[in-house]
Every structure is written in structure tokens, then in C-alpha cells.
Amino acid sequence: MTEGVRDRSSASLSELFEILSHEYRRYVLWVLADLDRRPDESVDTTRVLRCEGEPDILRIELVHNHLPQLDDYGFVDWDQETETLRRGPRFDEVKPFIDLMNENRDEIPQNWP
């Protein structure tokens, strides 16, 4: 477990909605929730850098804001040195929401993820 992970036995609904409220964090979690991926498999952070917009700005936002936040909550395990992501110790708390939104993507008003 990452040092500094917030000491919570389970996420509150408000925390989950806060985490899912930003498209970059949703996308990171969506990539890690991929059914074809083994739960312990790592993802190179370059995979989560989409081509839309300014890649440098996206990278700065991910590295300085979104990845640390996801890591602090324990939803991802982010290794800054190797620039890889894995499912964090609390990933299973957010995965049902990712799956639910994925299954109902046609019903969601915004583009998913």
C-alpha cells in the first residue's frame, strides 16, 4: 500500500462521486478496470495521455493533481519512478461504479469515460 493512503475502511458515496467527477480520473480508472487486463497488471502512464488538447498540459495535470489524488485515496498505485499505474488497494470500491457507467454509456449525458 502506498504511504500516505487515506485511512478509510471504505469510500463514502461523496468521495466516490468526487473522484469520478473529473474526466481524467474517470479515464484512468476506466483503463485500469478493463476486463481484459489482469488485476495486478501495470499500465504505462503514457497510455492515459489522450491526444486531445494539449498533451503537456494534460501530463502536468495528471502528474501534479489527478494521479496523486487517486493514489492518496488508494484507488490506484502510482509508481512515479517507473511511470506505471496499478489498481490500488481500494480499487474494488470504485470498480462497480465504473462498470455501471460503462454498461449504461448510452444513457449517460456526457461522453463516457
**pLDDT by residue, tens only, the chain of 113 residues:** 444 454 455 678 888 989 999 888 998 999 899 867 777 788 888 777 655 566 678 888 888 999 999 999 999 999 999 989 999 999 999 999 999 988 888 888 776 77
Q: In what order do the strands lie in the sheet with 84-87?
A: 43-44, 84-87, 76-79
Quote the pLDDT of residue 50: 58
Which residues, at least 6 apart from 59, have a Cβ–Cβ distance to it below 8 Å?
A: 49
User: Per-domain residue ranges for the chain?
Assistant: 13-103
Which residues, at least 6 apart from 48, have a Cβ–Cβ distance to it below 8 Å?
A: 24, 27, 28, 31, 62, 85
Quote the pLDDT of residue 1: 41
Does the domain spanning 13-103 belong to CATH 1.10.10.10?
yes
Quote the pLDDT of residue 109: 74
